[in-house]
Copies of this chain bind each other. A is one copy, B any other.
């Protein structure tokens, strides 16, 4: 998700922060005995937590609260800042029965803070400054009758507030702790103007329609079963086609640049991960496997790299063989606390389009360059813009490998990215402990950013697994490993991609590419439709014939529900003329009318062309 508050401009931030106060002011007018928690700015808006003795709010109360908020905005009340001695502040809280504010002021007194130092509110509302400056005064803001402990900033007056909408009410424990009282949290969104708010609300509506869990069911892509378990999706025939086409395309691009497929078992002795170091680092996330017949200590693999080192190392390698490039579409297992119910974002069996290159230090540049080009090509066809994060080391001691190797490698990554004229930023301290990496962020059609592909350098696994090759000078050298994935997690990518496209997949990814519908069940009609179906199948198209006795309109509703790109109705007219008039899914015909007729050979070949040239669209002329 986008919306890192540190990147949002200050004006919008102050407006949203003021919006939280306006919400609190409204609650104060409506429920004078309300106790106030905290009210921070969040992505696209704000919230405020309240405890209103004897009152349980519901979403039905939101319009009433909005009305009071609008009144407060109309009154154009000034946001007045003033400081108060800390003990006076405590007396204020005591007097006005604001127990949560009192707790916060006591914390400030004990812990010390400068209050204004950091714009980032913490969701838990802990205003702690670790510099431990002795605090003498605290800051307050007042709008009308409502007074709040607050470090600001705010807009000058309520009349300057932008456009807002309250979204929902939920429960929230004070400071997020289950042992604390439960407060009522009201969420709102706020933007600088009506236009932006409208756009945002439309986007949310669209996101709801595109929710991959909803579409997954409507388009018949995947299911969950209580008997199988949460976070463990089963893919139906249609979903399996989408999975396979995506994975196959990633494979194809990699095979073209010299990768070779390998295959390793999912079940493995823990010894492998003790050796690799994963056991010490990720031991808690592993699924432990108990053999009832042997004493083997086994796990489900959380990573594939250690296995691939075993294939590399099964005989002594020569510099002449490098780079050695392995790819494998395979599943790793992570013992997630709770799988996201019904969704693909967070699963416990994660399929990766994993790749490992073993190469010499001198070959890194060439390999990275190839991987960059390949990733760009993939996302161009997928239709998502990429932004790259160069995740480099900082000065902390967690990074393994010599600083010299790090310096060179980080420079190699940076120069490769620059040479490819890619949009990138550097983030220090985000490297893996074993080497620097490039993380690819893709922006979807709803402007949300998702981390997808990755390219990582690794100096540590080759060391731990004592990998070597015979160099041209006869010496034994250690190869570098490059980890790469284009899709990343296929399940997560599918979630992103289903929402990106709203389930309107291009032809090459459509589980069903063409539906042939008979207008009636006359012999000649059905025969013609069957002939058509067989011809399309022969060209490898995924086609289905619907010659049931339902009405054509019912048959077409199914085509629309499944978002099948092309459909053709066959009746007496088509039979007579030998021509068909395809129905084209609206996003595909680029402004051309869909009223053109074709003989079936021409039509089939145009579909084949569109399928094989993944970016092709305007072939229907």
Check if A63 is an interface residue, CB within 8 A of chain B: no
Q: Is the CB of B548 within 8 A of A298?
A: no
Check if A580 is an interface residue, CB within 8 A of chain B: no
Residue from the list B229, B285, B294, B336 in contact with A298, Cβ < 8 A: B229
Check if A476 is an interface residue, CB within 8 A of chain B: no
Q: Write out the residue numbers on chain B whose beta carbons fall within 8 Å of the beta carbon of A337.
A: 293-294
Q: Is the CB of A289 within 8 A of B292?
A: no
Check if A266 is an interface residue, CB within 8 A of chain B: yes
Check if A262 is an interface residue, CB within 8 A of chain B: yes
Q: Write out the residue numbers on chain B whose beta carbons fall within 8 Å of the beta carbon of A263.
A: 234-235, 239-240, 243
CA A73 to CA B292, docked complex, whole Å = 52
Give the A interface residue count (CB, 8 A): 61
Q: Write out the residue numbers on chain B whose beta carbons fall within 8 Å of the beta carbon of A320.
A: 548
Q: Is the CB of A261 within 8 A of B286?
A: no
With A236-B262, A267-B232, A331-B266: A287-B284 Cβ-Cβ less than 8 Å: no
CA A284 to CA B294, docked complex, whole Å = 12
CA A262 to CA B225, docked complex, whole Å = 15
Spot the interface stretch: A30-38, A128-136, A268-276, A436-444: A268-276
Check if A244 is an interface residue, CB within 8 A of chain B: yes
Check if A241 is an interface residue, CB within 8 A of chain B: yes
Q: Is the CB of B288 within 8 A of A289?
A: yes
With A262-B240, A271-B226: A335-B292 Cβ-Cβ less than 8 Å: yes
CA A424 to CA B266, docked complex, whole Å = 38
Q: Is the CB of B310 within 8 A of A223?
A: yes
Number of copies of this protein chain within its complex: 2
Check if A574 is an interface residue, CB within 8 A of chain B: no
Residue from the list B228, B286, B296 in contact with A265, Cβ < 8 A: B228
Check if A23 is an interface residue, CB within 8 A of chain B: no
Check if A307 is an interface residue, CB within 8 A of chain B: yes
The minimal Cβ–Cβ distance linking A269 to chain B, given in whole angstroms, is 4
Check if A233 is an interface residue, CB within 8 A of chain B: yes
With A223-B314, A286-B292: A265-B298 Cβ-Cβ less than 8 Å: no
Check if A471 is an interface residue, CB within 8 A of chain B: no
The minimal Cβ–Cβ distance linking A566 to chain B, given in whole angstroms, is 20
Q: Is the CB of A264 within 8 A of B235?
A: yes
With A241-B261, A261-B244, A263-B239: A227-B275 Cβ-Cβ less than 8 Å: yes
CA A299 to CA B421, docked complex, whole Å = 48
Q: Is the CB of A227 within 8 A of B269?
A: yes
Q: Is the CB of A228 within 8 A of B287?
A: no
Check if A171 is an interface residue, CB within 8 A of chain B: no
**Interface mask (A231-261 → B, CB under 8 Å = 1, otherwise 0):** 0111111011101100000000000000011
The minimal Cβ–Cβ distance linking A223 to chain B, given in whole angstroms, is 4
Check if A6 is an interface residue, CB within 8 A of chain B: no
**Interface mask (A59-95 → B, CB under 8 Å = 1, otherwise 0):** 0000000000000000000000000000000000000
With A289-B287, A289-B288: A269-B228 Cβ-Cβ less than 8 Å: yes
Q: Write out the residue numbers on chain B whose beta carbons fall within 8 Å of the beta carbon of A262.
A: 234-237, 240
A-B contact pairs, 28 of them (CB 8 A): A223-B311, A227-B269, A227-B271, A227-B306, A228-B265, A228-B307, A228-B310, A229-B271, A229-B296, A230-B296, A233-B265, A234-B264, A234-B310, A234-B311, A235-B262, A236-B311, A237-B260, A244-B261, A266-B349, A284-B292, A284-B293, A285-B292, A288-B289, A288-B290, A288-B292, A293-B337, A294-B335, A294-B337
